[in-house]
Structure 1
């Protein structure tokens, strides 16, 4: 997301305030990747994960670039990634903020661990199979998809019978259609 500021001193003021009074953070090992905001019992979402890609065209990293619930296909398959994963994050976060539930919430196994097969099956259900050219960018994709992009991992995780259009939203009619269209433009 690109923004411009008329008064750049706002950034310096924000940095000074964070230095003097850091925002509360959820600690995980020696890093603090998640910032907790809000604490209302009547809201389903009280954590917003801010994810920022590095500057440049593509990057090679492991699967820990994004929190599980916002993880893009490129990151799950450890492909080189670029700004498209940030757009993916904005799309998933937009759903979460409007609907007050995570779009990709049911992606964990019975022990609470991230299940990449379940996550990918849910992605296929919501937005359809990825394009074959994207799948050719990683040797890991053949565990889940055939060369044409069809899901083949039914034993690990079946594609659930759900779509973006079938999910309950705060919108209806043309507003819902516009919202889903907007999300689809980011979740591709």
Structure 2
């Protein structure tokens, strides 16, 4: 990986180290530590990977005459994400924790689908932040700070600059050192920011996120020095890079180390699949394990689809449990039929009113012409209950959480609680006991 300009003596010292294979890059004294492997590396693992669709970004490059790439933070099927140092801070936005200005820079692929998602995210961000508002949820939504285009060897790439954030919410369990699960007391303390961000989206902006998951609730930096130390480490210890198919592929460096302070809120991110809620919507949305019933039936959906989605995400955060997995135990193949059967066991038969709204073809996946469910053998046995699916909580704490979840997981979309209504739920204010997975002890979870 290339890193910041260094003294010639340091360059000679690195070159003398026989454990590192260093190649001199085209510009100045910057270095690229390379690896040799025939196996797929980083985004090369993407299904249908096409090197011509990804921008050939290099550490040390300056994009748009403003953003110097410091380190690769991650990748996806349609983009790579980088920490960049803003060498010329031209926007009026200045974040209070910033000493040296950094941004998270998403460089999208040059494909039509990736560019469409980037333009949608930019459009939704403009819609959310263009109007004056005092809504408390606005501060918990990450906006696009800047946008521009760069020309690659095979087409144009849209770049979106965001406030850099520390890590996804689900990683908090790993930070504790005790368990990979996020503790209930932590979820309770952070849920208000999540619910306020959704209320801001739904009530103020008329926006539906459509893609809620643990990766999209991000934790901010608890201390500005965390980001500074990270940048220093990247310059001193370049990450490996594979030069192949006409572009460099860098190893992602997404870890910022252990938490150094308390976290009081999270921010909602990634609006590439978001849509406006003030128009009819009927296309398929959401990860398949999270899809709301009205979406599966193509019965029309609105803001409450996000609420259903959030309810299922909570089970994964608290217990690493995919509540409606769509899979038969012992088998990994996903099936919508199996998932619908699981919903019947947990929620009871769907109301006829919901089925009457369904698209006929979508409905025929599950029901015959007489309205009888075609796959009763897939319905789990009586042991498949909400209570048995919540082993991480105990007693009254478990009962209160299940009542909280039931307000989100209902067949009828209009019967689900809104984000604002969920803010007043007794579970968020309760004193309870939970079982730490793998340790077997109980711990009080009082909110202060």
Fold match, TM over 0.5?
Answer: yes
Q: d(CA) in 2 for partners of 1:159 and 1:116?
A: 14
Deviation at 1:93, TM superposition (A): 0.5
Query: Which one of 93, 96, 119 corresponds to residue 316 of structure 2?
Result: 96
Matched, 1:59 2:196: no
3-state SS, counterpart of residue 311 of structure 2? helix
Deviations 1:117-145, CA, capped at 9 Å, x for gaps? 10001111122222111111112325424
Q: How does 1:3-152 map to 2 (within 5 A)?
A: 3-5=137-139, 11=143, 16-17=161-162, 38=171, 43=180, 48=214, 50=216, 53-57=274-278, 58-62=280-284, 65-107=285-327, 112-138=332-358, 139=360, 140-145=362-367, 151-152=373-374
Matched, 1:171 2:308: no
Structure 1 alignment gaps of length 5 or more: 25-34
Q: Are residues 148 and 175 of structure 1, via their aligned partners in 2, closer, same or farther at CA, if it must alter by over 3 Å?
A: farther
Q: Are residues 132 and 49 of structure 1, via their aligned partners in 2, closer, same or farther at CA, if it must alter by over 3 Å?
A: farther
Question: Segments of 4+ in structure 1 off by > 3 A?
Answer: 10-15, 21-24, 35-40, 42-45, 49-53, 108-113, 145-152
3-state SS, counterpart of residue 16 of structure 1? strand
- Whichever structure has more strand as a proportion of its residues is 2
RMSD, aligned α-carbons: 3.9
Deviation at 1:147, TM superposition (A): 8.9
Q: d(CA) in 1 for partners of 2:169 and 2:343?
A: 26
TM-score, normalised relative to structure 2: 0.32
Structure 2 alignment gaps of length 5 or more: 1-135, 147-159, 183-212, 217-270, 411-448
Deviations 1:62-120, CA, capped at 9 Å, x for gaps? 3xx11111111122223321112111100000111111222123537988443011000
Q: Are residues 36 and 61 of structure 1, via their aligned partners in 2, closer, same or farther at CA, if it must alter by over 3 Å?
A: farther
Q: d(CA) in 2 for partners of 1:13 and 1:126?
A: 43
Q: d(CA) in 2 for partners of 1:170 and 1:37?
A: 15
Deviations 1:37-86, CA, capped at 9 Å, x for gaps? 7495x6379x8354865222430213xx1111111112222332111211
Q: Are residues 146 and 101 of structure 1, via their aligned partners in 2, closer, same or farther at CA, if it must alter by over 3 Å?
A: same
Q: d(CA) in 2 for partners of 1:183 and 1:150?
A: 28
The structure with the largest alpha-carbon Rg is: 2
Q: Are residues 86 and 141 of structure 1, via their aligned partners in 2, closer, same or farther at CA, if it must alter by over 3 Å?
A: same
Contact 1:144 1:152 in 2 (8 A): yes
TM-score, normalised relative to structure 1: 0.68
Contact 2:282 2:299 in 1 (8 A): yes
Q: Are residues 37 and 94 of structure 1, via their aligned partners in 2, closer, same or farther at CA, if it must alter by over 3 Å?
A: closer
Deviation at 1:166, TM superposition (A): 2.7
